[in-house]
Structure 1
Amino acid sequence: MAVDRLGALRSKVELTLHTHHAARIWKGRGVETGRPQIIGMRQFLLICGAIKQNAAKDDPYADHWLLQLDDKLADTRTQLDQRLQELDSLMAQLPPELNVEENLNQQPLKLPVYTGGQHGWLALRLLIDFDRFVRRVMLAHHIALIGRRQMEEYVRLGGHLLRSLCASTQKYPGFSGATRDDFAANNAKARDAIEKFGVLPDDVLSGKRRSEFAPPIARTAEARAPTSEDGPKGTPPASAEE
């Protein structure tokens, strides 16, 4: 096969979950239940992928969402790690004469996964660590290191962290309809986007500040020259305070 005919690289990803708590966060809750919808991790990954695709189209609002995802993922990681460290301290109370192996489900849930990009990978690792966290909490209760109420509270707090992460993308509106070229031209698309979604910080609008995992911007066409309807070409609008 000629070198220039090589296809794209692909790899198979399979997720293994051992607890019902993690499985419920993966699935979420649909509106068909008659109760308020809860965005699950699988929907979260799809939305992350859509945000990344729109950022590649030079949508500055998508870039802003990626930056917010950076912050939310980092905050969730910090808080979950704190909980895991607390569990390590609890398990350290076991005497060295007791060797307690990790508790694993004999029939775990195995799922094919599409992550949607690096933010999805980070989120998936959080879900795996939450699954491990729940198993360790249950084990700590089983060997009498914590009581039932403390076990339930640990699981509740950990679950809240993951549900909050998944819900953080629930209001993502999709492609804004405007690119940075539109903002530079101060045309109708840019003005409409500002009216719908607000004013962006200058460094995000200019592209100076982007997520570490933001995709390369694919420019497929030259910027369209402004028309009389678009208004005069000008500088991007000033940023609003966050």
Structure 2
Amino acid sequence: MTDNAEKKDGKKVGALHSELRIDLHTFYAISTWEGRERGTRKDTIIGMPRFFRLVSSINRDSLADNPYADAVMYQLEKLIDEAHKNVQRLLDEANDLIAELPSGISLSNVVSKSPLNIGVHSHTPLGYRCVYLLVGFDQLALKLFQAHHYGFISRQHRDDRLYQGGYQIRKIFSAAQHYRSFPITRRDIVLATETIPPAQQYFGEVDREVLLGRKRSRFSPRVNAESLRLLHERLRHTSRDHKAEESIDKQGDKDERQG
């Protein structure tokens, strides 16, 4: 039925709905999902639910035209993309080792008898992409334990690869945890408002490419068009002022030489 026909008949389409659930088979993946409280000799590690809340806050600030939030969104996306490649590389390495089985021997896939089934709900695409990464890490852990059990790799090799896989997720959590929300927009930067110094002190200067919307996450909202107009206008004025200063300096040098 066409949209016009629906309007004519007074019919409306209901809200879209979908549910995502995952199975985690290893202690390593489950503990990464849950996180870890601060202990006597161990620091706190946030879990996936906490990461969802953090990245949701960053996304809200990005929607509000906060360039620092845009920069962190871009950083998180790059970290997640890189982590996917690294975990896949480790998994391929483990699969290649097990593939060296002599002929006449077969191995079934390793799974937990009672995996933890979790319903996943994230307000951002980056949250879901991090979940896919966690599932990949879970598959890596399964394969490493299987490879060690059947004598393909040493305990040290197994533990080293498990650490490498877990680190891929922890560094993403750390980047999100480092974020601080400041009430600042691109317009504030153009107008040099008093909200800028605290954000600059914490984050430093905003990357020019991020500020102009040229470098951003593919999951970020569009940059505010009015803010971009003001930024480009300011840059044109700055460029003209800079050229005028250079002209004055050159004329001064010329006068000194003639004198």
The answer, yes or no, to whether TM exceeds 0.5 is: yes
Instruction: Give the one of 11, 21, 35 matched to 1:28.
Output: 35
Residue 7 to residue 79, structure 1, CA distance change in 2 (3 Å): same
Pairwise mapping of residues 28-177 of structure 1 onto structure 2 (< 5 A)? 28-31=35-38, 33=39, 35-174=42-181, 176-177=182-183
Contact 2:21 / 2:119 at 8 angstroms: preserved in 1?
yes
Amino acid at match of 1:156: Y
Q: Please state which structure has a larger fraction of its residues in helix.
A: 2
Deviation at 1:117, TM superposition (A): 1.5
**Gaps in structure 1 of 5+ consecutive residues:** 224-232
Residue 177 to residue 6, structure 1, CA distance change in 2 (3 Å): farther
Contact 1:18 / 1:109 at 8 angstroms: preserved in 2?
yes
Residue by residue over 1:146-176, the C-alpha shift from the partner in whole angstroms, topping out at 9 and shown as x without a partner, is 23232222222222222222222111112x2
Contact 2:213 / 2:223 at 8 angstroms: preserved in 1?
no
Larger radius of gyration between Structure 1 and Structure 2:
2
Which residue in 1 is equivalent to 2:220? 214
| 2:118 aligned counterpart, secondary structure | strand
Residue 58 to residue 117, structure 1, CA distance change in 2 (3 Å): same
Q: How many residues align?
A: 224
Residue 92 to residue 70, structure 1, CA distance change in 2 (3 Å): same
Instruction: Give the one of 170, 193, 197 matched to 2:199.
Output: 193
Deviation at 1:37, TM superposition (A): 1.0
**Gaps in structure 2 of 5+ consecutive residues:** 1-5, 228-232, 239-259
Which residue in 1 is equivalent to 2:187? 181
Q: Distance in 1 between matches of 2:141 and 2:158?
A: 9
Q: Distance in 2 between matches of 1:102 and 1:22?
A: 17
Q: Distance in 1 between matches of 2:81 and 2:59?
A: 18
Contact 2:35 / 2:46 at 8 angstroms: preserved in 1?
yes
Superposition CA RMSD, Å: 2.7
User: Identity of aligned pairs, percent?
Assistant: 28
Which residue in 2 is equivalent to 1:226? none
Deviation at 1:7, TM superposition (A): 5.4
Q: Distance in 1 between matches of 2:122 and 2:105?
A: 39
Deviation at 1:217, TM superposition (A): 5.1
Contact 1:16 / 1:110 at 8 angstroms: preserved in 2?
yes
| TM-score between both structures, scaled by the size of structure 2 | 0.76
Residue by residue over 1:161-214, the C-alpha shift from the partner in whole angstroms, topping out at 9 and shown as x without a partner, is 22222222111112x211112222222223443344321011211223221111
Contact 1:185 / 1:235 at 8 angstroms: preserved in 2?
no
